[in-house]
Amino acid sequence: MTDPALAFVIVAQDDPLAEPLLAELAVEYATRYDGTVDGVAAWLRDYPAAEFAPPAGAMVIGLRDGVPVTGGAFRRFDAETAELKRIWTDAGSRRRGYGRALLADLEARIVDAGYRRIYLTTGHNQPEAEALYLAAGYRRMAEPLPAEGEVYPIAFAKDIAESEVSEPSAG
């Protein structure tokens, strides 16, 4: 059941509401993958912000009582496919359905943007992320996504249609 106090808004990558997402992701990824917080923080901001801007993408933050508790983004992978990035839920707000609510909101926005498929990748040290994606109907791909630079071997895909997703929340 979704928390009625949870509201989703679209923000720019440099919006203060996105900062908790990027800061906590940097700490979490650095810890899980033996990196440095500064190095991971730079890597998270390496994608051009325009890739996560409407109409081809969006960065969405879930707010509970005005406080960011979950967030994520999507960008164009190809003409029919969006790629999810930066999926996050605040460590103190996990196991409340916020991640699943975020995925539903992002999927609705992806359909509205005209995409028919979603790709995403995750790291090998994130079993809870894998469980979330599988529970949300994503299928694990046998091969990694084609990419320039780093390749993440754990890739998921989901075919979507307008009848499969709910309307995005206001924002």
> Domain extents for the chain?
6-164
Higher pLDDT, 75 or 92: 75
Taking the C-alpha atoms of residue 16 and residue 73, their distance in angstroms, rounded to an integer, is 15
Closest by Cα among 90, 146, 149 to 119: 146
Higher pLDDT, 50 or 170: 50
Of all residues in the chain, the percent with pLDDT exceeding 90 is 44
| Stretch (H or E) spanning 136 | none
Crossing angle (nearest 10°) for helices 98-112 and 127-135 = 60
Q: Among 34-38, 42-46, 63-67, 102-106, where is mean pLDDT lowest?
A: 42-46
pLDDT, tens only, 11-40 = 998 899 988 888 888 888 888 788 888 988
Q: What angle do CA 59, 84, 35 make, to 5 degrees?
A: 90
- Please, are residues 101 and 141 in contact by the beta-carbon 8 Å criterion? no
The reported pLDDT for the residue numbered 148 is: 62
Mean pLDDT of 49-69: 93
Sequence-distant (6+) residues with CB within 8 A of 65 are 5
In this model, does residue 166 exceed pLDDT 60? no
For 6-164, CATH number out of 3.40.50.970, 3.40.630.30, 3.10.20.30, 3.40.50.150 equals 3.40.630.30
- Split at pLDDT 50, 70, 90, the class of 101 is very high
Higher pLDDT, 48 or 119: 119
Sequence-distant (6+) residues with CB within 8 A of 27 are 37, 40
In this model, does residue 71 exceed pLDDT 80? yes
* Verdict on whether the full-model pTM lies above 0.95: no
Q: What is the dihedral of CA 15, 58, 38, 19, to 10 degrees?
A: 30
